[in-house]
Amino acid sequence: MKNLYPQIYNLSNLLCAWRKARKGKTKKQYVIEFEKDIIINLLQLQAELIDQIYKPKPLKTFILRDPKTRIISKSDFRDRVIHHAIVRIIEPIFDKSFIYDSCANRKKKGTLFAIKRFDIFKRKVTNSLKCEAFCLKCDIRHYFKEVDHKILLSILKRKIKDKKTIWLIIQILKNQVNSRKRTGKHVYRKGMPLGNLTSQFFANVYLDELDFFIKHKLKAKYYIRYVDDFIILHKSKQQLKIWQSQIINFLKHALNLKLHPDKSKIISLSKGIDFVGFRNFYYFKLLRRRNIRKMKSKIDDYKKGLFFEESLKEIFQGWKAYTKWANSYKLSQKIQFKLFASLLFC
């Protein structure tokens, strides 16, 4: 696609991007400061894009333990507006070619969509739960840290012929450097920061190559991917072993990635498959233990005065809606009792 760049810096697109970036954050001080001179700030961003002098501000990095320890890199609010402006224009170009069962960070998709598809595939591969079947469950090792910028840009350039749009994407990618490799006169970087909207989108673009390989080269019928976590269901354990070897080879040579050695294995469906927050068995599903611990820790944080009552209620309502997809009524009631006791006595 050519002439995308003017669409990105178009003022109406920047206005829409600003509204997206501020959603759920209108009380944040950095949003309030940006909006004191909203028109001037958006026009300034537009001018920087037109003149190609835009440069992202340094990322603010912090550690999140929720419960897994992750390093989150937070972009300045003005840069988040740019991220939304880019994704609004280029996402439709790529999304229409993504496979149906790529579930993360896409409209009308998500964890519940992934779990519904898992249930459908589980029934099909087991002939309505009458036969044994197996699951190849894989996780890509240090995925966001290992995305190769050279490979990512070559994938993007297949559909984006606008050099200025590529220039802007490079500015975003250069703002996070995990490691470098030198090829001839050029230095190519690896890694994308967790927390950026563009990182989430580019993650899907990058692994769309894997999706195509598994669906169209290996002809795997029952395949689902959620970010870097993916599963394939099949009646034959031996067939899954063959595919696993082929996937390892493809990731190494095509995308410069590796499977996580401890989190990638072939499991019988009867033993339960840990996928998108649930432990999925033949006839029922349970919540992951860490999801239960996470909700309990939120209640404990409220007792310590770390956030307000309304915030806790909102978190619990979201968690309760999520738990409805598991066989966890008694557990949900137990957590709800713990919540009410905390609200009553704190």
Answer yes or no: is pLDDT of 183 > 70: no
pLDDT band at 70; cut points 50, 70, 90: confident
Answer yes or no: is pLDDT of 267 > 60: yes
* The pLDDT value given to residue 7: 97
d(CA 207, CA 217) in angstroms, rounded, equals 15
Phi/psi class of residue 227: alpha, beta or left (left: φ > 0; alpha: ψ in -120 to 50)? left
Which of 54, 270, 4 has its CA nearest to residue 168? Answer: 54
pTM of the model: 0.87
Of 170-179, 210-219, 249-258, the least confident: 170-179
Which of 310, 312, 292, 291 has its CA nearest to residue 301? Answer: 312
* The pLDDT value given to residue 132: 94
